[in-house]
Chain A
Amino acid sequence: MQDLVNIFVKSIFVDNMVFAYFLGMCSFLAVSKTVKTSVGLGAAVIFVLIITVPVDYLMNEYLLKPGALVWMGKEYASIDLSFLSFIMFIAIIASMVQLVEMVVEKFSPTLYASLGIFLPLIAVNCAILGGSLFMQQREYESVAEATAFGLGSGIGWFMAIVAIAAIREKIRYSNVPAPLRGLGITFVITGIMGIAFMTFMGIKL
C-alpha cells in the first residue's frame, strides 16, 4: 500500500509529465488558452491514462517482454517480442480512445459533450504513449502499481494544464514585450513553474 501511495505522489509531483519530461507539450500549449477547455482536456487525459497504462502493462507482461509467452508453454519461453511494443502500445491507445469515446457517448452524454472534441486529440498526445513507455521502462511490479502511476501522471498533467491556463488568462492584462507574446511567454511561464516543481524533488513517503 505504501508503495502505491509513493508511486502515486511521485508521479504527480516529482516526475510530473509536463515539468520534468515535457510530455504532451503540444496540446499543453495549444489548448491552455482558457481554464474551461483545459479542464476538459485534463480530465480526458486522466481518463485515458487510467485505462491505457494498466492495459498496456498487461500486454507487456503477458505478450511482449522477454519470456512473457511462457504461459503458452515452455517452448515459447525464449521469445522476445519487445521490439513490437511501440506499434502495440499505439494501437491499443488508439483503439482504447475510440472505445472510451463510444462508451462515454452512450452512457454519459453530458460528459461526452464536455470531453467530446478532446478525446480524438488524445490518441496522439505524447503524455499517453509516454505513460505506457515509462511504465515499461520502470518495470512496475503489479497492475495496481501501474494503475497508480497512470492515475498519478494523469492528475499531474491535469494540474499543470489548469494552472498554466489560469495564468495565461490573467497575463492577457499585462504588457508583455511584443515578440514574446503568445508562445514565448508561455514557454517562460512553464519554465518558471518547472523550477517551482523541482522543489518536490527527493520527496519520499
Chain B
Amino acid sequence: MAKEKEPLFSPKNIKLLTNPINVDNPITKQVLGICSALAVTVKLEPAIVMAISVTAVLAFGNVIISIMRNSIPSRIRIIVQLVVIAALVILVDQVLKAYAYDVSKQLSVFVGLIITNCIIMGRFEAFAMANKPWPSFLDGLGNGAGYAWILVAVAFFRELFGTGAILGWQIIPQSFYDMGYVNNGLVILPPMALFAVATIIWIQRSRNKELIED
C-alpha cells in the first residue's frame, strides 16, 4: 500500500468540475446536447427540471459505465451504454411523473430524448470509458452544470421578456403595461432559443479568443 492516495478534491479533480462550465462547455464548445437545450427553454421551471434530470443521468451513468468499463466488449459498447442510459432515464421519468406531473407533461417527449442526448453518449465515450468512477462522477457533474447554466440563462431571458414573469411570479410591474409595454411574443417562439444560444456563444468567444474557429 505504498501508493499515495489522491485526495478527493485534488486540483486535477477540481478542474474536471470547473472546466466544462466555462471553456469546455458541452453546448457552446463541444456542440453536444443541443436538441433538448433549445426545446425546453421557453419557461424557467421546465428548464431547471430538465437540467437537474440530465445532470443526474449523466453523473450516475458516468459512474456506472466507469465501473463496468473493463468488462464491456468494445464492439457492443454502444448498446450497453444505451441500455444504461435508458434505465436511468426511465427512473427519472417515473420520478418526475410521481412528484412533478405538470412539468413532466410540459417536457413531454424531451424526458425520453435524454436517452439520445449527445452529451451523455459523448461523455461516456470520451471520459467514463477511460477513467475511474470518482473522476467520472465529477466530470458528469461538471458537464451537467455547464449544460444547466446555459439552459437556465436562456430560459430566464425568454420567460422574462416573453411573459414578464419568472417562475410564474410577475416581475415587470403592471405600471409598465399601463404605459404601453407589451410582452415580446417572438421570444416565446422556437427560433429565438437559437438566437439566444448564438448570443451566449458570441459573448463567450469574444471574451476567450482561443475558442474562435478558424
Q: Is A125 a contact partner of B116 (Cβ separation < 8 A)?
A: yes
B195 in complex: contacting residue of A19, A120, A188, CB < 8 Å:
A188
Q: Is B35 a contact partner of A30 (Cβ separation < 8 A)?
A: no
Main secondary structure of the interface of A (DSSP, over half): helix
In whole angstroms, how far apart are the Cα atoms of A134 and B113 in the complex? 11
In whole angstroms, how far apart are the Cα atoms of A90 and B87 in the complex? 11
A interface bracket (residues with beta carbon within 8 Å of B): 35 or more
Q: Is B115 a contact partner of A181 (Cβ separation < 8 A)?
A: no
Main secondary structure of the interface of B (DSSP, over half): helix
Q: Is A104 located at the chain interface by the 8 A CB criterion?
A: no
Q: Is B182 located at the chain interface by the 8 A CB criterion?
A: no
Q: Is B190 a contact partner of A194 (Cβ separation < 8 A)?
A: yes
Q: Is B195 a contact partner of A25 (Cβ separation < 8 A)?
A: no
Kindly specify which of B132-140, B159-167, B200-208 makes contact with the partner chain.
Answer: B200-208
Q: Is A25 a contact partner of B191 (Cβ separation < 8 A)?
A: no
In whole angstroms, how far apart are the Cα atoms of A90 and B83 in the complex? 8
Q: Is B82 located at the chain interface by the 8 A CB criterion?
A: yes
A21-B39, A86-B90, A87-B83 known; A180+B202 contact, CB < 8 A: yes
A134 in complex: contacting residue of B83, B93, B109, B203, CB < 8 Å:
B109
Size of the B side of the interface (Cβ < 8 Å), in residues, is 47
What are the residues of chain B within 8 A of A123 when measuring CB–CB? 78, 82
What are the residues of chain A within 8 A of B192 when measuring CB–CB? 191
Q: Is B198 a contact partner of A184 (Cβ separation < 8 A)?
A: yes
Q: Is B35 a contact partner of A198 (Cβ separation < 8 A)?
A: no
Q: Is A188 a contact partner of B194 (Cβ separation < 8 A)?
A: yes
In whole angstroms, how far apart are the Cα atoms of A120 and B121 in the complex? 13
Using a CB-CB cutoff of 8 Å, which residues 96-119 of chain B contact chain A? Answer: 108-109, 112-113, 115-118
Using a CB-CB cutoff of 8 Å, which residues 105-124 of chain A contact chain B? Answer: 120, 123-124
A187 in complex: contacting residue of B89, B190, B194, B213, CB < 8 Å:
B194
B53 to chain A, nearest CB (A): 13
B28 to chain A, nearest CB (A): 7
Query: A121-152 vs B: 1/0 string, CB under 8 Å?
Result: 00111101110011001000000000000000
Q: Is B201 a contact partner of A180 (Cβ separation < 8 A)?
A: yes
What are the residues of chain B within 8 A of A129 when measuring CB–CB? 112-113, 115-116
A122 to chain B, nearest CB (A): 10
Using a CB-CB cutoff of 8 Å, which residues 6-24 of chain A contact chain B? Answer: 19-24
Residues of A within 8 A of B (CB): 19-26, 29-30, 83-87, 89-91, 94, 120, 123-126, 128-130, 133-134, 137, 177-185, 187-188, 190-192, 194-195, 198
Task: Please provide the 7 A-B residue pairs with the shortest distance between their CB atoms, ordered closest to farther.
Answer: A182-B213, A194-B191, A191-B194, A179-B205, A187-B198, A133-B109, A179-B206
